[in-house]
Structure 1
Amino acid sequence: MQLQSNILKNFAISRFNEYYLPSINRNTFEVIDSKTFYNRKFKTLFSQQDKLNIIIGMDSGLLANYILELTEGIPDGSKFVIIELSTILPLLLIDIPSELRSKLVIIDESGLDELFKQDDIKLFIAKGEYRLIASSSVSSRHLDDYNTLLNTVESRLQNEYFDNSINFTQKIFVRTQLENIADNHTQAKELRNKYKEMVCIVIAGGPSLDDTIHWIKENQDNLYVIAVSRIAGKLAKFGINIDIVVCVDPQDVSFDVSRGMFELSDETLLVHSYHVNPKILSQWQGKCLYMGQRFPWNNENDFDNIPTVGPTVTNSAIRLAIEMGFRQVLLSGVDFCYSKSGYSHARGTVEASLGPSLGHDTLWVNTYAGYQAETLIQLKQAMESLENEAKTHPYVDLINLSSHAACIEGITHQSTEKITLHPLVKSKLLSDSRLFTTKENDLNEVYSECKNIKNELLKLQHLITDAKKLTSKLNLDAKKTSNTLDKVDKIEFKINKKYKKLSQLIKFYGYFEFSKFLTTREVESWTQQQINQMTERYYEAFSSSCDQVFKLVESACNKLQDRINELGTTPFNTLAEQWKRDNQPGRCFIWKKMHPAYSFSADEQLLWTELNNLYQLSLTQVRQAYVDTLHTGSAMEHVYTKILRLNKSQSHQGLALLVHNLAPLIEKDPEAKRLYHLALSFQLSLEQQPQQALDALLALPEELYTEMELKHIILLALKLSKLELAESTLVKILTHSDEYMPQYAHILKLRGKIQESVNVYLDYLEKYPSETQTWIKLGLFMVELNQAEGAHTAFSHALNADPDNQVALHYVAELNRIMTEAQ
């Protein structure tokens, strides 16, 4: 017997005078009115600006109406997209005012492809300014169709993010590259082949670091230590001296997770990407070298620098070790997968302090120990990149010290006991002033170059503006179109000849804007009007992107002037105000090193104290936005979704791992306890142990049961022929929905409670007279009881609801014949 709740199309009116579908929302809105319910759950969330809110299900239309009636209106820059089941959407009539149709969109699953093609949707996703929200009907997880839709959209969003973010995030790389021009002085290529035939260790933040950290401390004198920035603080506190710390991420979150690196001594060298987060680079008080290109336009000085390798900082750190000439590179904390306990990072990190990551949509990879572990799609990409690195540099011996790390071809595993180290003499790179560029000359030269580029961009913008004006007239006068296009072509020729490099930079930076003028139509089908329109859009994108790049170069010039001022006699209070505006209070320490003999006035001393306090606060205060993002991955709501996904894909191994990781949480968290028993039951069911699966659910306190647990107790009870348990549990599940009444009637019939069974069928059909299949079930039941008249009545009702139903037509004809013969 399949216990599947159906979506009944009957509306009810709550005691708060709100229409809803009981099949969708059960009794939720009988207990509380929708506005109060949504205010508690979504008011703060829905008030945020510049967010894409993708909502699965609209709670019988109540959630859509709530959005339309938001007190402050739909926030500026935000958009709501509701995705409803195609079986439900036609039942709900939502009148969206014309002025809000660009801000609130309602589609079914068939509209997903078209949705993800839209420019504004792509932009929200690429920027990561989106969130997936489950309505009340979806959160309850009682309808499999909603579970499937939620999983489908979640997977699509993940894929769309990776596809779109690649094109969009180049903006942040160019932006930080230009902002860092003032602080990128010396290239990392100065380290190339400086450590031939030596051994180093690259330390990342994976959970296996905790297994090797003591060995690293004991052997650090014989190891050249390269650490990624997020783990540097932990290593320093543990007493491990770091030779090089590597940092690459341009995002602000990089500062949040890397702040421990600022505790390192002056003996540590920072090697960073050209696009590292400016808040890190501008406040680093030690020496540093940059990887990659300093300038976003072609520059001959940068072509042979050590490159930044993605997608993670670990990839760049390993590439750096290879370029430095080490013959053997040991890896610690380079796991690229979760631990068996569900942790993604070593102890002492923000991520680890929040507990195991249990709710992410993950992939499975093999470990050196032979078992499979979970990983994220970006870590899988990092593995593939590292595999390629190993193939490209086969002469370097890459060894992972952890058996719990993900297997990567070209990288072997050895335990620390098998590693033989020899005395290491570290060269004093930091004391070699010849390696590091003299800042004053460098700043003046780069300032001159940036000013020249700014002037060139101004001239280029004038040409683009001329072309843009011409293209705006193309469709106004068809006779002059050819002449106008000739003029535009001449301007384009001049742009490509004289400003080729800058033009390429602008198109790279403005990829997203330029993509808008492209069309999916075949070239042969283009009309002249469409060609004109595309040409106009092309120059609009060119103009907009050129203007943005000009402002960035202008800002870079200003930053360079600020750095030149720091070297000179500009008053301290003037510099201090600039550092505060830039959110870089730690520059005061760098400035003091450049002016060791400077004596502060009383007012300046107050300013110094303020800057110091701001700096210390930035090193201790974790941004709530980052913590909230991490919490999302472990929210029990996401864990529930994952359990359902694993069960549907019949992954008993995935369920077993989740059961193992939920176990430590069950004493303190009732929801974790419920999910533990549910996952365990699913796992045992997949392993063909129905009695143990049933016992796992029955061990759960009854007050924690939801509809999902009750449903599966019934299914398992039926499988094990425990009809009494099935009946008593069906009584409980009926408090959630009338939809289970036909199944209850069927169980009563199986238990020989004939009249009770008939009464339940009739009670149900009195409420839902259009339920054809239930009328047919009752009719067949009456046939079994030799109740011809009752059967005829049931089948006739079925025909009233569905006149073409072949089963009902057959039985009515047959019963008419029997009753006629009986007369």
Structure 2
Amino acid sequence: MQLQTNISNNFAISPFNEYYLPSINRHTFESIDSRTIYNKKFKQSFASQDKLNIVVGLDSGLLANYILEQDMAIGSKFIFVELDEVLPLLVIDIPSTQEKHVKIVNELEFIELLKKEDIQLYIAKGKYEVYASLGASSLHLDAYTTLLNRIENKIQDEYFNYSISFNQKIFFQTQLENIPDNKTPAKILKDTFKGKTCLIVAGGPSLDEHISWIKENNKNIFIIAVSRIAGKLAKNSISIDIITCVDPQEFSFDVSREIFTLSENTLLVNSYHICPKILSQWHGQSVYLGQRYPWSDSNDHDNIITVGPTVTNSSIRLAIEMGFNRILLSGVDYCYSRSGYSHANGTVEANLGPSLGHNNKWVETYAGYQAETPIQLIHAMDALTDEVKNYPNIDFINLSASAAKIDCISHMTTNDIVLDEFGSKKKPKSISNEIEENRKILVLSLNECNEKKETFNKVLKLTKKALVLTKKLSSNTLKSKVIINKINNIENKINSEYSSASKIIKTYGYFEFSKFLTTRETEIWTQSYINKMTIDYYEAFSNICHNILKLMTQACEKVEFRILEIDSNSLTQLAPTWSENNQPGRAVLWYKKKNEITLNSNEEKTYSNLKDKFNEDITQVRNDYIKILESASSMEHVYKKIMGLNSNKNNYGLSLTVQNLLPLIESDNEAKRLYHLALSFQLSLEQQPQEALDVLLALPEDLCTEMELKHIILLALKLSKLELATANLVKILAHSDEYMPQYAHILKLQGKIQESVNVYLDYLEKYPSDTQTWIKLGLFMFEINQVEASHTAFSNAINADPDNQVAREYLAELTRLMNTPQ
């Protein structure tokens, strides 16, 4: 017997006069009305502006109605994704005024919606969230759990794809912002360590296995450490030769903040688009990867480039360019540890515990077992594979067996590594840090930026002129032809005289310009369609050029301010800008370079406040970053993951989850429940039904949800333990009436005929439209020779569903029997 929780079309009416499907929402709306529940659970989140809200499940239509009755937040949209079997049961009228903002779709229609430009823009900007309706999050319907998993995976993949192109903007913005602080190109490091061994240290969990070995061999290896792990090495008295940092996002400062405690002798090698909050406050020497300016610049076109998508990929390219012939990797895991950790001990991520709730991919390790990894690291592995195969003369060696296996990178343990003496020349080339030299560089930068600003001003004037002309376009082909000729002349001038600026505008505005790629065949273009495309094109051109000019102006102001820092001896003059730019550490740098000039009492107070703020920044992680990390390991996410692993029959994944939940079960009841559930699933997949049942029976009764009771019943039936199945069916009825027919069936199997009939009748009195259960009762009555009762049951089945052929055939047979003389 299967214990199905099917979605039936039987509606119930709550005491608050709300219609709902008990097979989806159980008793949720019996004691509290839906509006009150939704206000508490969703109101704050749904009030966010400019956000795409993706909701899995409609809660029998009540959640959609709740949204339609609210004032819609500016710029927000809602997409409800519902199961195919539920949509036909619901009738939801979306007013024409809200059709643009609210969509109700099935999974296939949702995938089509993801191709729309406005939806892509929300996803690319990360301005979206996936929610589970109450029915979808109440754990009793596997169909919702798997749908939620699929939707989240799809969105995660789409975000990764869209954000790559959309996020070009942040690279450009930080490139301009970093102009005053990117002074020396990294190419001065090229081929400086030919024939030597380098160790690249990243933040993966395997680093902890190698710390002692690194410390012992510190003198004979050149160490390049990614910024997030540099502090950990320093705490272990390991000296670092180079720190690498590439990420433009502000959270990069949170994970890299410990680099500010390192020696000034450590060289920072940063991408041109490093988070400005890091670069502007760095107290040592630095060199940059890539190009200083977003336009072509003869001084650094041959510079060492940044390669993505991770800082580790860039670090490996740096080591290759520096001439090392053997590159060792530690903490370069590209996957989670067996215990679910994504990073080495002591990092923010590791301090929060294992990453249990992510929907990840699986990769093979050098040790031969499968490990979890997020999609970003899959891309990083692919990029690294392509990179290292181009350098067959370099030995790439990963020191960890628990790292993801990558073609052309071998694995060796530290015991098998033989190191030569490095020699005395271990430090990279010295970089000029003379104040006058810096000033010269800044003045040249200012001239460069002002010159380019003027170019963009000219382009803006031309695009505005073209835009005015586009507004005069009409359906009159001859008139439009004259105007289009004028517009084409302007376009030709932009492309010939200002090609570099035009290229930057189109790269920066990649997402906006991609909208002009149309799938329509040119022969079906109408004049009005062409006119509209032309107007939209120049509006985008003009807006993007205007935005770039704003950024250029800010870059010029920043360069001017850096010159002022050199020239000024007044802290009062400088402090407001440091505070406004959230760069208090610059006060410390300025004070040091001024050979600690005498400050007056007001300046001393200001300096002390800025210094304290900087110390706070580099010692405390912002709560915003911690919240992002914590949300991924919430037990709700862990539950969804367990259900996904079970539906995919991923026994190994379940065993890892069980292992990782074990340390949490004493302090967290939800972790305890999920531990028992995952272990039971694991044992069931291993064909150990008795052990799987014992695990669930060991769970305290007050922690059992409908899901655990359901699986106890299924296992009990499998093992022919009818009494146990009956006892738990009685308990599960508190969650939903839909289990009553199964309860009646088990009573029948136990020979409790009258009790079974009574349960069937109680159920059908509540849900008279359940055709299938009327048919089951009809067959049951016939079995026990209650022909009239059987006839009544089949008649009721036809009343509920007049087109039901099965009921009609049985009824005809019964009528024939009843009319046949005995």
8 Å CA contact retained: 1:516, 1:537: no
SS in 1 for 2:200: strand
Q: d(CA) in 2 for partners of 1:443 and 1:124?
A: 38
SS in 1 for 2:42: helix
Unmatched tracts of structure 1, length 5 or more: none
C-alpha displacement of 1:440: 1.2
Quote the residue 1:22 is aligned against. Answer: 22
Quote the residue 2:578 is aligned against. Answer: 579
Q: d(CA) in 2 for partners of 1:219 and 1:134?
A: 52
SS in 2 for 1:212: helix
Quote the residue 1:56 is aligned against. Answer: 56
SS in 1 for 2:270: strand
Quote the residue 1:125 is aligned against. Answer: 123
- Could you tell me which of 173, 188, 197 is aligned with 1:199? 197
C-alpha change, 1:399 and 1:435, in structure 2 (3 Å) is farther
Deviation by residue 1:406-464 (Cα, 9 ceiling, x = unmatched): 11111111111111112213537567345999311111111111101100101111111
Q: Does 1:751 align with 2:743?
A: no
Q: d(CA) in 2 for partners of 1:695 and 1:459?
A: 78
8 Å CA contact retained: 2:477, 2:527: no
8 Å CA contact retained: 1:390, 1:410: yes
C-alpha displacement of 1:641: 0.6
C-alpha displacement of 1:102: 4.0
SS in 1 for 2:666: coil
C-alpha change, 1:496 and 1:706, in structure 2 (3 Å) is same
Report the residue type matching 2:54 in the other structure.
Answer: I
Quote the residue 2:360 is aligned against. Answer: 362
C-alpha displacement of 1:595: 1.4
Quote the residue 2:770 is aligned against. Answer: 771
Pairing of 1:79-90 with structure 2 (within 5 A):
79-90=77-88
C-alpha displacement of 1:93: 4.6
Quote the residue 1:183 is aligned against. Answer: 181
SS in 1 for 2:728: helix
SS in 2 for 1:298: coil
Quote the residue 1:9 is aligned against. Answer: 9
C-alpha displacement of 1:151: 1.6
Report the residue type matching 1:695 in the other structure.
Answer: D
8 Å CA contact retained: 1:733, 1:740: yes
C-alpha displacement of 1:367: 0.8
8 Å CA contact retained: 1:201, 1:225: yes
Quote the residue 2:454 is aligned against. Answer: 455
SS in 1 for 2:618: helix
- Could you tell me which of 140, 160, 163 is aligned with 1:162? 160
Q: d(CA) in 2 for partners of 1:659 and 1:495?
A: 62
- Could you tell me which of 403, 407, 410 is aligned with 1:409? 407
Q: d(CA) in 2 for partners of 1:409 and 1:264?
A: 35
Quote the residue 2:497 is aligned against. Answer: 498
Q: Which moved more, 1:301-310 or 1:55-64?
A: 55-64
Q: Which moved more, 1:390-399 or 1:58-67?
A: 58-67
Q: d(CA) in 2 for partners of 1:773 and 1:750?
A: 19
C-alpha change, 1:431 and 1:415, in structure 2 (3 Å) is closer
State the TM-score, normalized to the length of structure 1.
Answer: 0.97
Q: Which moved more, 1:327-336 or 1:3-12?
A: 3-12
Report the residue type matching 1:603 in the other structure.
Answer: N
C-alpha change, 1:517 and 1:431, in structure 2 (3 Å) is closer
Report the residue type matching 1:713 in the other structure.
Answer: I
Quote the residue 1:331 is aligned against. Answer: 329
Q: d(CA) in 2 for partners of 1:812 and 1:752?
A: 26
SS in 2 for 1:358: coil
8 Å CA contact retained: 1:387, 1:408: yes
8 Å CA contact retained: 2:241, 2:427: no
8 Å CA contact retained: 2:222, 2:426: no
C-alpha displacement of 1:50: 3.4
SS in 2 for 1:560: helix
Report the residue type matching 1:22 in the other structure.
Answer: P
8 Å CA contact retained: 2:475, 2:527: no
8 Å CA contact retained: 1:717, 1:725: yes
C-alpha change, 1:318 and 1:510, in structure 2 (3 Å) is same
Q: Which moved more, 1:279-288 or 1:97-106?
A: 97-106
Quote the residue 1:236 is aligned against. Answer: 234
Quote the residue 1:374 is aligned against. Answer: 372
Deviation by residue 1:212-255 (Cα, 9 ceiling, x = unmatched): 11111111011111100001111111111111000000000100
Quote the residue 1:702 is aligned against. Answer: 701
Quote the residue 1:443 is aligned against. Answer: 442
Q: d(CA) in 2 for partners of 1:94 and 1:620?
A: 53
Q: d(CA) in 1 for partners of 2:397 and 2:150?
A: 39
Q: d(CA) in 1 for partners of 2:548 and 2:81?
A: 38
C-alpha displacement of 1:743: 0.9
SS in 2 for 1:182: coil
Deviation by residue 1:567-588 (Cα, 9 ceiling, x = unmatched): 1136321211111111111111
Quote the residue 1:809 is aligned against. Answer: 808
C-alpha displacement of 1:52: 2.4
C-alpha displacement of 1:550: 1.1
SS in 1 for 2:140: coil
Calculate the aligned-residue CA RMSD, in Å. 1.8
SS in 2 for 1:53: strand
C-alpha change, 1:99 and 1:810, in structure 2 (3 Å) is closer
Deviation by residue 1:291-322 (Cα, 9 ceiling, x = unmatched): 01111112222221111011110111111111
8 Å CA contact retained: 1:188, 1:290: yes
Q: d(CA) in 2 for partners of 1:723 and 1:433?
A: 81
Quote the residue 1:485 is aligned against. Answer: 484
C-alpha change, 1:65 and 1:77, in structure 2 (3 Å) is same
C-alpha displacement of 1:610: 1.3
Quote the residue 2:136 is aligned against. Answer: 138
SS in 2 for 1:341: coil
Deviation by residue 1:239-275 (Cα, 9 ceiling, x = unmatched): 1111100000000010010001111111100000000
C-alpha displacement of 1:475: 2.8
Q: d(CA) in 2 for partners of 1:170 and 1:211?
A: 37
Q: d(CA) in 2 for partners of 1:570 and 1:97?
A: 65
Pairing of 1:271-282 with structure 2 (within 5 A):
271-282=269-280
8 Å CA contact retained: 1:224, 1:426: no
**Aligned residue pair count:** 821
SS in 2 for 1:392: coil
- Could you tell me which of 106, 109, 116 is aligned with 1:108? 106
C-alpha displacement of 1:49: 3.4
Pairing of 1:640-719 with structure 2 (within 5 A):
640-719=639-718
8 Å CA contact retained: 1:59, 1:137: yes
Report the residue type matching 1:50 in the other structure.
Answer: D
Q: Which moved more, 1:47-56 or 1:160-169?
A: 47-56
8 Å CA contact retained: 1:518, 1:534: no
Q: d(CA) in 2 for partners of 1:547 and 1:53?
A: 31
Q: d(CA) in 1 for partners of 2:565 and 2:429?
A: 23
State the TM-score, normalized to the length of structure 2.
Answer: 0.97
Quote the residue 1:261 is aligned against. Answer: 259
State percent identity of aligned pairs. 60
8 Å CA contact retained: 2:192, 2:428: no
